[in-house]
Chain A
Amino acid sequence: MKKRFTAGGLIAALVGLTPAWAWAAGGKASDLVVVADTRALHGVNLYLATLYNQNMWVFAVWAVVLTTVLGVLLGLIMDVVMNRIGLDLGKSAGHVEH
């Protein structure tokens, strides 16, 4: 029991101290400032670059939303394609480790 408490204490100390060590290593670093050149852009490219230049928060939200939507959409399309091949793509009966 004592060993368990010692191990638990060590883990807790590690978790508690790791952020402190990390922060002690230096002050806050400045973010990268890049401005997209929108002069020769049009359509979606212009929209994305303008958003990037004007509002990074909205751009970040769009990045997550668009990646999710495209991922789900492509997953569903590929699902239909794979089902047409005729393979059994349901739950596996049990996997063999060796």
Chain B
Amino acid sequence: MDWLYMHMPIAGVDIFWPGLLLIGYAVGVIGGFFGMGGAWMVTPGLNILGFPMAFAIGTDIAHIAGKSMISTMRHSKFGNVDYKLGFIMLIGTMAGIELGAQIVMILERQGSIGSVVRWVYVGFLALIALMVFYDYFKAVRSKTKSDDPSHTGATGGVNWAPAMHKINIPPMMHFKVAGIHCSMWLPVMVSFITGVLAGFLGIGGGLLRMPALVYFIGAPTHVAVGTDLFEVMISGLYGAFTYSLKGRIELVAVFVMLCGAAVGAQIGTVATKYAKGYGIRLMFGCAVLACMVSIILKQFNVTALATVIILGAITAICVYIMSIMFRGAANELREKRLNGSTGGAS
């Protein structure tokens, strides 16, 4: 069974390559659907396969860049990417990621990196999960009260964007695809803060930036997902470069994972076409919660259970998204066939 193992030239270990393909596929599905890179899911997977931790973060980030590229191409065709907003946010993201990475290097020297990163991560994940679930239940209650059948619920949940849009520090900008008008400094500041956290935590930042785009900048969920993937792609490439310079990347593993991610990203991205905005948000909240619980368990050295929770959550979410995609696609193709035969009959 030697052919199932691939030698990693830099890390110097033999890795079960179908496992890499599977990780790439699952993260591709989930990342394409939620608009995030999914580094939190990749690391435990790589650990299980026997990957040295020193290379895990860099390899994660490079793989995320390539995978996000594939998802961004698809989302762009759906009209879900606001490139203007994405480019403006890049300013803050780049500066933020570099600062975050420097903080990591400083803490590494002091030897306190693992614990600090984990608790900061847990704090932010708890906030995001709380916000997403509160928003969802508030929107559901608001929709239930409303008799108007055309009520979309977009304004029923948490909506801080209008207050943020009142910040009128020039230059003011209009973002056509996202349908928002605000100060240029709002997306720059939001992306800077999420960038610092991303660099610090060694993640692409989508887990933080996607909800920030929805709740602080006011982008519709689907546009937030698409634009965020564009951001993750650029910041991932930048991250891949800096981590390569630091000698923390295993390119062969990146290429193998990308092959799986190419298929998964299509499924995840196309699934957004058949999902409602609040459905995506609710599932996103569940993913964040699973990530948070696993990190808390890791902090208390219950690593095996943490890994089981992460892998269980990945499997459950992945299967759910695949079911959305396949059901939606089957319905669409059935309708097309019916319309075709009706058209042919008349």
A contact residues vs B (CB 8 Å cutoff): 4, 7-8, 11, 15, 18-19, 22-23, 25-34, 36-38, 41, 44-46, 48-49, 52, 56-57, 59-64, 66-68, 70-72, 74-79, 81-82, 85-92, 95-98
Of B107, B108, B332, the contact of A88 (CB 8 Å cutoff):
B332
> Is A63 touching B251 in the complex (CB atoms < 8 A)?
yes
> Is B65 touching A27 in the complex (CB atoms < 8 A)?
no
With A48-B10, A67-B62 already in contact, the answer to whether A75 and B262 are too (CB < 8 A) is yes
B54: A residues at CB distance < 8 A: 32, 34
With A32-B54, A68-B66, A70-B66 already in contact, the answer to whether A75 and B73 are too (CB < 8 A) is yes
B196: A residues at CB distance < 8 A: 18
With A45-B7, A71-B65, A96-B276 already in contact, the answer to whether A86 and B246 are too (CB < 8 A) is no
A65, chain B: closest CB distance, angstroms: 10
A98: B residues at CB distance < 8 A: 139, 143, 151-154, 156, 276-278
> Is B258 touching A31 in the complex (CB atoms < 8 A)?
no
Of B63, B110, B244, B252, the contact of A45 (CB 8 Å cutoff):
B252
Q: How far is the CA of A49 from the CA of B8 in the complex (A)?
A: 9
> Is B99 touching A48 in the complex (CB atoms < 8 A)?
no
> Is B80 touching A32 in the complex (CB atoms < 8 A)?
no
Q: Which of B190-240 contact A (CB under 8 A)?
A: 192, 196, 220-222, 233, 237, 240
With A25-B103, A71-B66 already in contact, the answer to whether A36 and B152 are too (CB < 8 A) is no
B contact residues vs A (CB 8 Å cutoff): 7, 9-10, 12, 54, 62-63, 65-67, 69-70, 73-74, 77-80, 99, 102-103, 105-110, 139, 143, 151-154, 156, 166-169, 189, 192, 196, 220-222, 233, 237, 240-242, 244-249, 251-252, 254-255, 258-259, 261-263, 265-266, 270, 273, 276-278, 329, 332-333, 336
B83, chain A: closest CB distance, angstroms: 14
Count A-B contacts at CB 8 Å.
191
Residue ID in chain A nearest B7 by CB atoms: A45
A89: B residues at CB distance < 8 A: 74, 77-78, 270
> Is A45 touching B189 in the complex (CB atoms < 8 A)?
no
Interface of B is mostly: helix
B73, chain A: closest CB distance, angstroms: 4
B248: A residues at CB distance < 8 A: 32
B99, chain A: closest CB distance, angstroms: 6
Residue ID in chain A nearest B68 by CB atoms: A71
Q: How far is the CA of A87 from the CA of B169 in the complex (A)?
A: 44
Q: How far is the CA of A34 from the CA of B102 in the complex (A)?
A: 20
> Is B258 touching A67 in the complex (CB atoms < 8 A)?
yes
With A64-B237, A75-B70 already in contact, the answer to whether A48 and B9 are too (CB < 8 A) is yes
A54, chain B: closest CB distance, angstroms: 12
B102: A residues at CB distance < 8 A: 22-23
> Is A56 touching B277 in the complex (CB atoms < 8 A)?
no
Of A46, A59, A77, A92, the contact of B273 (CB 8 Å cutoff):
A92
Q: How far is the CA of A84 from the CA of B265 in the complex (A)?
A: 17
A61: B residues at CB distance < 8 A: 241
Sample of 16 more A-B contacts, CB < 8 Å, known A71-B69, A89-B74, A95-B276: A4-B168, A26-B106, A36-B9, A46-B9, A48-B10, A66-B251, A67-B251, A68-B65, A71-B70, A72-B69, A78-B70, A82-B74, A82-B266, A92-B222, A98-B152, A98-B276
A15: B residues at CB distance < 8 A: 189, 192
A7: B residues at CB distance < 8 A: 167
Q: How far is the CA of A56 from the CA of B249 in the complex (A)?
A: 11
> Is B9 touching A45 in the complex (CB atoms < 8 A)?
yes
B168: A residues at CB distance < 8 A: 4
Q: How far is the CA of A66 from the CA of B256 in the complex (A)?
A: 12
> Is B276 touching A33 in the complex (CB atoms < 8 A)?
no
Residue ID in chain A nearest B113 by CB atoms: A29
4 nearest CB pairs, A to B:
A98-B153, A71-B69, A97-B277, A60-B244
B143: A residues at CB distance < 8 A: 98
B94, chain A: closest CB distance, angstroms: 14
Residue ID in chain B nearest A41 by CB atoms: B9
B139: A residues at CB distance < 8 A: 98
